[in-house]
Amino acid sequence: MNSQDFDRYAKIKAMKGQIAQTWIDAFEKHICPGLSPDARVLDYGFGDGRYYEFYLRHFEADNIHGVEPSQIRTQNARKRGWQHAIYLPLHQPLPYADRTFDFVNMVEVIEHIPAGETVFYLREISRVLKPGAHLLITTPNYPIKRLYDVLDAVALRQWRRLLDDPTHVTRYNAKRLTHTLTPFFSRIELSPYKRGRFYRTNQERHRWHKLLAVCS
């Protein structure tokens, strides 16, 4: 499968499940206190739109925007009632003016972007963020992510986990993620998005299953 064939992948894997408590904790600690219900929000790579109902509890529907490179997933999100969920083909600039958004959410998207193209997308996100606004970004933590895949495959008998996600084209750890984000954000705070069974302390970043960064 072509690593950038997101519509084909949408037919294979639905993006379901509850929102991670670690994401909610980061949102409530870093994002929510500074925002009013009329704040403007962008979900960059919203998948099937599972965050939309959460956004509605905090923000006005007309101010909740999202972009997604899969037409199938965009249709799924719009079926939820998400009016401003739009399909945006790859390599296209964001269709918003500079300094439009108070918050951008980017959950497990950056690993799908080829390393040579990351600057373009992060520059666009930085452009549409208001001064002092936040980006919340998550990504798997390589290489330990692959160890967790193997352990889950054996424990849960989900043998497909032995194969890595074919749409992951850039692999991040804490150091690489920080290095990638630093040109665009002066403040980057890392925490575990998914701790994993080897997690012991916040300082042991190499043990985290997935990474979460709050940037401003």
- 216 class by beta-carbon count within 10 Å (0-12 exposed, 13-18 middle, 19+ buried): middle
Q: How many CB atoms lie within 10 A of CB 24?
A: 13
Q: What is the per-residue pLDDT for 26?
A: 97
Q: What is the reported pTM?
A: 0.91
Q: Which fold has domain 6-215?
A: Rossmann fold (3.40.50)
Mind listing the pLDDT tens digit for each residue in 117-152?
A: 999 999 999 999 999 999 999 999 998 888 887 887
Contacts of 98 (CB under 8 A, 6+ apart): 127, 128
Q: Which one, of 166, 147, 144, 164, lies nearest residue 155 by Cα?
A: 147
Q: Could you tell me if 101 and 63 are in contact, meaning their C-beta atoms sit under 8 angstroms apart?
A: no
CA dist 41 and 151 (Å) reads: 37
The b/e string for 127-151 (b: 16+ C-beta within 10 A; e otherwise) is ebbeeebbbbbbbbbbebbeebbee
| Residues of the chain below pLDDT 70 | 1-3, 7, 9, 11-14, 196-203
